[in-house]
Amino acid sequence: MKKLINSPDTVLDDTLAGLAAAHPELAVDRAARVVRRAGGPRPGKVALISGGGSGHEPLHTGFVGTGMLDAACPGEVFTSPVPDQVLAALAATDGGAGAVLVVKNYTGDVLNFALAAELAAEQGVEVHTVLVDDDVAVEDSTYTAGRRGTGATLVVEKTAGALAERGATAAEVAAVGARANAASRSFAIALTAATVPAAGRPGFDLPEDQIEVGVGIHGEPGRRREPLRPARELAAEVVGTILADHTLIPGDQVIALLGGLGATPLHELYLVYGEVAALLAERGLTVARRLVGNYVTSLDMAGFSLTLTKADPELLELWDAPVATPALHWS
């Protein structure tokens, strides 16, 4: 394992120290493991809070700031945060208007956020939860754990964050988040495995000419293994898989997020995005907004994921609203 760390046991704490130094505009509570906007709770504003295992940076800590999250709860690497963190985040951001939790659909995240939400509700805080489950690589049924939450998390946090910034109620913010999630589908391909620092070796062995298709963001193997192919074919595979599951018709507008998984250089992401854009145009879809870069990552995994969100005027307007966070910034 080759990583810029001090020790596997201190990765989270050391990363938070660096985050605090890099972003004085954030309040980083290393003991409570809560990252929030500097300045206290804002009376009357719904607190938008998310979190999850670390190793997906800039998700979620990089999305804390005006127009997006009020606080993020980073867990250990690939491990959901504990309820205490969520409760601390709720306490630190409670402006009296309730809170919305953005939770990626993993058993651990769901359970830990649910425990916290239960306790907070007992204390009289109005808590809503938006579950993100956009990954079409995973079969969705009541008998399974359901789909994973991946790239759509960014879209949910951006749109819900914009609405929260305008003073909407917790129910309204949660409703928009749920709508953004329902409008989103993602699919990812990995060229290499991720190495969890505590594990010390890659999650799976992938020969030099093989890729994993349908991976998540936790280093787990995908649905199947295939030979590496040209970017154009991989893009077609990903676009085809998403569209087969999506209710998009020619003429529809989409928000496209072409994301690196952590170790893929930007030039490759641009290259893949060029293929994706061409394929979407062929299908008669209009890319109304797009992001290309590393946003929802998986440690040092190489590869990419595509998220397509069916856009409507409200979602686009919320997407365009000003945002000022470490990882997303526009005005």
Partner 1 sequence: MPYAMDHDLAEAWLRAAAAAVEQREEELTALDGAIGDGDHGSNLRRGFTAVTELLDGLEPGLPPGTLLTRAGSTLISKVGGAAGPLYGSALRAAGSALPEPTADLTDLAAGLRAGLSQVCKLGGAQVGDKTMVDAFEPAVAALERAAFDGFTLREASALAAEAAEAGARSTVPLVARKGRASYLGPRSAGHQDPGATSTALLFAALARVAG
Ligand X SMILES: Nc1ncnc2c1ncn2[C@@H]1O[C@H](COP(=O)(O)OP(=O)(O)O)[C@@H](O)[C@H]1O
Binding site for its own copies (CB under 8 A): 2-7, 11, 14-15, 17-22, 54-55, 57-58, 62, 191-192, 208-209, 211, 228, 230-232, 234, 258, 262-275, 277-278, 287, 290, 292, 294, 297, 299-300, 302-304, 329-331
Of residues 3-22, those binding partner 1 (CB under 8 A) = 8
Site for Mg ion (CB under 5 A): which residue of 50, 54, 66, 79? 79
Q: Is 140 near partner 1 (CB under 8 A)? A: no
Buried/exposed 204-228: b ≥16 CB within 10 Å, e otherwise: bebeeeebbbbbbbbbbbbeeebee
Q: Pick between residue 79 and residue 309 the one whose CB is nearest to Mg ion.
A: 79
Site for Mg ion (CB under 5 A): which residue of 63, 78, 187, 273? 78
Q: Is 304 near Mg ion (CB under 5 A)? A: no
Q: How many residues does the chain have?
A: 331
CA angle 111, 297, 165 (to 5 degrees): 70
Annotated catalytic residue, options 23, 60, 128, 218: 218
**Which whole-number Å values give the CA distances from 117 to 54, 86, 125, 130, 159, in the listed order?**
21, 8, 9, 12, 22
- Active site annotation includes 218: yes
Interface mask toward partner 1 for 144-183; x: CB under 8 A: xx--x-----------------------------------
Q: Is 106 near Mg ion (CB under 5 A)? A: no
Residue 221: which of partner 1, Mg ion, ligand X, none does it interact with, CB under 5 to 8 A by kind? partner 1
- Cβ–Cβ under 8 Å, residues 225 and 212: yes
Shortest distance, position 313 Cβ to partner 1, whole Å: 34
Residue 76: which of ligand X, partner 1, Mg ion, none does it interact with, CB under 5 to 8 A by kind? partner 1
How many whole angstroms separate alpha carbon 227 and alpha carbon 225? 7
Which of 93, 5, 109, 12 minimizes the C-alpha distance to 49?
Answer: 93
- Cβ–Cβ under 8 Å, residues 114 and 48: no
Of residues 248-307, those binding partner 1 (CB under 8 A) = none
Q: Where are the alpha helices (DSSP H) in 147-265?
A: 152-165, 170-182, 231-245
Q: Is 108 near ligand X (CB under 6 A)? A: yes
Site for partner 1 (CB under 8 A): which residue of 53, 65, 161, 262? 53
How many whole angstroms separate alpha carbon 70 and alpha carbon 73? 10
How many whole angstroms separate alpha carbon 27 and alpha carbon 25? 7
CA angle 70, 76, 78 (to 5 degrees): 95
Binding segment for partner 1 among 60-68, 82-90, 173-181, 248-256 (CB under 8 A)? Answer: 82-90
Residue 87: which of ligand X, its own copies, partner 1, none does it interact with, CB under 5 to 8 A by kind? none
Q: Pick between residue 10 and residue 107 the one whose CB is nearest to ligand X.
A: 107
Which of 180, 175, 168 minimizes the C-alpha distance to 46?
Answer: 168
Residue 248: which of its own copies, ligand X, Mg ion, none does it interact with, CB under 5 to 8 A by kind? none
Structure tokens at 300: 């040092």
Residues of the shown chain interacting with ligand X in the complex, contacts defined by CB under 6 A: 79, 107-108
